[in-house]
Amino acid sequence: MAQFLLALCEQYSLSSILATSFTVSLPNQFLARKWSKELDYRLIKELWAFHDNRIAVRFAYEWHDDSGHWYRSYGNENWEFDEHGFMRRRIASINDLPIAEADRKYHWSLGRRPDDHPSLSDL
């Protein structure tokens, strides 16, 4: 189970997981605003813990706004899933740190993090 959850965190971006999990309009409106602001982001997630229908992950991602200002966002998320495997609850703590473009650490092409890129713990 732990390997499956870790693969889920690594294989899919936050946007694809949440887009398939939320079905009510308020979270979808929030996500649409978020993704129109956070451009070209590169995400690293790591499984922190899991039990029954709950998992906890830690993450960091880099993105820029439409003015070209770069940020590194980092934090923790707790996910709870219903009996059908859909996300029932998400609790997140996210911090946005302004960074210079020269201070970026995630330089791969858009998409999944390459297997040879250091993990969050390795950085």
Q: How many domains does one find in the chain?
A: 1
pLDDT of 112 reads 86
Residues listed for the chain: 123
Residue 99 has pLDDT above 90, yes or no: yes
Establish if 98 belongs to a structural domain: yes
For 106-118, the pLDDT digits (tens) are 999 888 889 899 9
Give yes or no for a contact between 35 and 17, defined as CB atoms under 8 angstroms apart. no
Residue 15 has pLDDT above 70, yes or no: no
Residue span of the structural domain in which 44 resides: 2-103
Place of tokens 């923790």: 76
Residue 120 has pLDDT above 80, yes or no: yes
Establish if 34 belongs to a structural domain: yes
CATH number at residue 61: 3.10.450.50
Establish if 123 belongs to a structural domain: no
| Helical pair 14-21 and 25-37, crossing angle rounded to 10 deg | 160
Residue 87 has pLDDT above 80, yes or no: yes
Establish if 113 belongs to a structural domain: no
